[in-house]
Each structure stands twice: as structure tokens, then as C-alpha cells.
Amino acid sequence: MKILIYFIVVLSLIFSVSVQADPTFADLAVLLAKGQFKEHVLADASLEECAAFLNQQGVCFSLFDLMDTERRVTKEDFARVIGQSKLLFLGEADVVDGCIKKPDDATTWVDYCLLNDVGSSELWVRFLLRMENGSLPEVDQFFGRR
Amino acid sequence: MRKSIAYSAVVVFLFAGLSISTALADDLGLQQMDVDKVGQTVKKSVKKAYKSAKDKSEVNSQIAAIMDEAAKTGNEQIIKDAIIAVMEAGGEDNLESCIAAINGSQANTDFPELVKSTVSSTKALITANKGGGKKDQGGGKKDQGGGTGGNPLDDGGSLNIRDKDIPGTPV
């Protein structure tokens, strides 16, 4: 089992290096809300509605991150929102200042996802591959690009 | 006579010193600051102003001063982050007065398009908290189209994120 996890991590690292994508926080907010929380968010919800929903749950997206089209999502950022979602679904979310706190037994969110078998590396690769096709329509619309 | 001249000089020096220190305190030093720190610095300063000011007009003149300082840098990222920070610090309750202060500043005179688009997008994000878009609340815009097509974060339950017993339900 450990070898398999190690293999997936190595594979995802190789993919991450080879994929040319510009993943933004705005894209991540829309995909996360309409993916993991699709039962709660309308399929045609706007970026601002997706971000508001996630922030209300404690899966934090700052205004600065959302508004900055140059700021790129890192693997740790990605693991944070996935980890926060996991904690929310488990009913173990400890919300501090509006954000779900990282459990003390993990040094980083990437570690948290690895330790809890969340599979964030696999999702991260899928996310990067999706972003290779460009920004989502909701994000383009928000920034007046269409 | 000499005593009174010396006394007057001391008073003048003290007054000048006080004025200079007040002016320096008002200046956040945005020009010299690392761009990444602008947002948090402005946000902290505006929040402090809301706590200490006697009325909103006092806060608004401080906001205008901050935006003037941001405009002086000529750096669009600094201006953008300052706008977001001001509006976030003001929150929904002070949104319109914040926008009025921003619009009345030098930033709007020098960078009208940037100010207009940043204010409008930030306002949309702040006011979205009021609802809409949520299935359990109703609302949402039906004519938007949306459709992300092949959402990589919709794992269909194959990955271990959601609670398998209560799929898709935040507990």
C-alpha cells in the first residue's frame, strides 16, 4: 500500500512538472464548489456565489487571492482547500477566524492529505490538466473577459 | 526678552515636530513597501481608523489619503490591493461610503478604469455573502450558462474526500 502511495506521489510530481497551466484561486473556487459541493451549489452559480459559499463553510478564499489573476495556486494551497473540505465532511472542522484550522498532527496541508489518504495529489494533477484548457467561463465572465 | 524668544522658538519647534510626526504617521510607506504586504497593511490601518475615528467622515478622509498615497506610487498592483483592503476592512456595512471615498481620491483621477473594475469586482464578492447561488437557499442566476464541463474536482465519490454515508453533505 505504501509503495502504491509513493508511486502515485512520484507520478503526480512528474505530471506537475510537465503540465503548463495557470491555475488561479478563482478557478479553484468554482471547481471546488461545483465539484465537491455540487449538492449545495447551483450548476450555474457565479464565481462570487461559489466563493461566498465556500467562505461561509470555512474553506477560505481571500479577496486578494480571488482578485489576483497573476497569483498562482500552489500545491499547498490546493491541499489546504481539499483538506478543509475533508474535515468539513467528517464533521471535524475546527473553525478559527472564519477558516477551518489545520489539525495539529500535520505540519502542512499536503501532509494532512497524505496522512489521511485524501488523494490530493491525484486531484492536483487533474486540476492542472483542466487548467491547461484555460480559465473557466465563470471566471472569464467575472473579470469581464467575455 | 531673550527668554520669551527662546520660549517661542521651543513652542514653534515642538509644534513643527508634532506636525511632521503626524504627517509621517498618516503615510503608510506604500512606495517602499513589498507589494505583497500592501493589502494587509492597508487593511489593518483602515480597521484601526474605524475603531478610533469619531465619525465616518474622518475614516473616509483617511481612506482618501491612503488611496492618494497608493496613486502616487503609480503601481497598479498596489492601487488594486489598496482598494480591496479598504473595501474588505469596511465590510458590507460601510461599502458605499468606502466606494465614495475611493472614487473621490487621486487614484480614481489617475487610474479610472482600474479603480472602476476593481471596485465593481470586489463589491460583487463582498455582497455575494447575502445569498443566491446556493441550492438550499434558492436564488441563483438561471441565464448564466455556467457549465464547467468535466470538473476535475467532481470525483463522483471515487476519492476519499466526502463522507461515503452522507455523500456531498457537509456535516
Q: What is the pTM of this model?
A: 0.77
pLDDT of A89 higher than 60: yes
pLDDT reported for residue B154: 77
Contact B128 A52 (CB under 8 A): yes
Q: Which of A92-106, A132-146, B11-25, B34-48 has the lowest mean pLDDT?
A: B11-25
pLDDT reported for residue A136: 93
Mean pLDDT calculated for residue range A55-68? 94
Q: Which residues contact B107 (CB under 8 A, 6 or more apart)?
A: B67, B68, B70, B71, B79, B82, B83, B115
Q: Model confidence at B145, in pLDDT bands (50, 70, 90)?
A: very low
Spatial separation of the C-alpha atoms in residues B88 and A63, rounded to whole Å: 8
Interface test with A, best of B151, B164, B169 (most A CBs within 10 A): B151
pLDDT reported for residue A118: 87
Spatial separation of the C-alpha atoms in residues A53 and B170, rounded to whole Å: 12
Measured CA angle at A37 (ends A34, A38), to 5 deg = 55
Q: Model confidence at A59, in pLDDT bands (50, 70, 90)?
A: very high
Contacts of A136 in chain B (CB under 8 A): 148
- Residues B168 and A39 sit within 8 Å (Cβ to Cβ): yes
- Residues A78 and A108 sit within 8 Å (Cβ to Cβ): no
pLDDT of B1 higher than 80: no
Mean pLDDT calculated for residue range B137-157? 50
Contact B128 A46 (CB under 8 A): yes
pLDDT of A12 higher than 60: no
Q: What is the ipTM of this complex?
A: 0.80
Mean pLDDT calculated for residue range B134-151? 46
Identify the H or E element spanning B93: none
- Residues B169 and A39 sit within 8 Å (Cβ to Cβ): yes
Interface test with A, best of B117, B136, B161, B162 (most A CBs within 10 A): B161
Nearest to A36 among B126, B147, B162 (CB): B162
Regarding predicted confidence, which is higher, B157 or B155? B155
Eight-class DSSP state of B138:
B
The shortest C-alpha distance from B110 to chain A (Å) reads 21
Choose among A70, A101, A14: nearest CA to B80: A70
Neighbours of A93 (CB within 10 A): 19
pLDDT reported for residue B27: 84
Nearest to B152 among A46, A129, A142 (CB): A129
pLDDT reported for residue A82: 94
Interface test with B, best of A64, A117, A131 (most B CBs within 10 A): A64
CA atoms within 13 Å, Cβ hemisphere of B18: 6
pLDDT reported for residue B148: 40
pLDDT of B10 higher than 80: no
Contacts of B166 in chain A (CB under 8 A): 89
Rounded mean pLDDT of chain B? 77
Contact B148 A44 (CB under 8 A): no
- Residues A83 and A93 sit within 8 Å (Cβ to Cβ): no
Nearest to A42 among B80, B135, B151 (CB): B135
pLDDT tens for B100-138 read: 999 999 999 999 999 999 999 999 999 986 655 566 544
Q: At what angle do helices A25-35 and A47-57 cross, to 10 degrees?
A: 70
Nearest to A127 among B129, B132, B152 (CB): B152
Q: Using a CB–CB cutoff of 8 Å, tell me whether A57 touches chain B.
A: yes
Q: Using a CB–CB cutoff of 8 Å, tell me whether B132 touches chain A.
A: yes
Contact B169 A39 (CB under 8 A): yes
pLDDT of A108 higher than 80: yes
pLDDT reported for residue B137: 46
Regarding predicted confidence, which is higher, A3 or A40? A40
Here the cell at position B38 is 500592501
Contacts of B171 in chain A (CB under 8 A): 88-91
Here the cell at position A88 is 468539513
